[in-house]
Amino acid sequence: MKIMMVIAFQTKMKVMNFNNSEKNNLKEKRKWAEYSSIGLMFPVSITVGLAIGYFLDKLFNTNPYLLIVFTIYGVIAGFVNLIRITKQNGKRKKH
């Protein structure tokens, strides 16, 4: 009877350790996914700003002023997202 209890306890401990390592692995993958998304945020935000500026310039015949303004907005949006993600990951590291 005692042997069965010891075996059950050891098995439970192995399962708990496996679950903890699996959770840590998932957290690590999530962190890498967030960091890799930064590489896509910059070109996408700049492209969206550029496209909006281009179409508004065509609509209002204000070449190239709105194109420049909205491209700068796109660059600023990229940096704001970068700062937001690094702050979020910094807070998670502290906890």
Query: Which residue ranges make up each domain of the chain?
Result: 38-95
Res 33: pLDDT: 80
Res 73: pLDDT: 97
pTM above 0.85, yes or no: no
User: d(Cα 89, Cα 81) in Å, to the nearest integer?
Assistant: 12
Res 82: pLDDT: 86
Res 16: pLDDT: 56
Nearest to 73 by CA among 95, 91, 35, 47: 47
